[in-house]
Amino acid sequence: MAAVIAVWPFSFALCLTSEEIVARLRAAGYSKIQEMPAAAVREGTARSPIVDSIGHIAEVAR
């Protein structure tokens, strides 16, 4: 019998909790953060931020 080992491209230990994501967004200047649909306000403008599994923040054009 052979064993099969799947290697994921990332570790689940590196994933952020929803509380950590909100904290990172607040630290980056976002407010009024909504989970679905992804929306937040930064510098008085509604935006759609995306946070990856290690905490990098990017914005999607609305």
Peptide bond into 37 cis (omega under 30): yes
- Domain-embedded: residue 30: yes
- Domain-embedded: residue 37: yes
Whether pLDDT at 15 is above 60: yes
Q: What's the mean pLDDT when you consider all of the chain?
A: 75
- Domain-embedded: residue 41: yes
Three-state secondary-structure class, residue 54: coil
Q: pTM value?
A: 0.58
Number of domains in the chain: 1
- Domain-embedded: residue 23: yes
- Domain-embedded: residue 10: no
Phi, psi values for residue 13, rounded to 5° = -65, -20
pLDDT at 7: 42
- Domain-embedded: residue 26: yes
- HSE on the CB side for 55, CA within 13 Å? 13
Distance CA 22, CA 6 (A): 31
21: CB partners within 8 A, 6+ apart: 51, 55
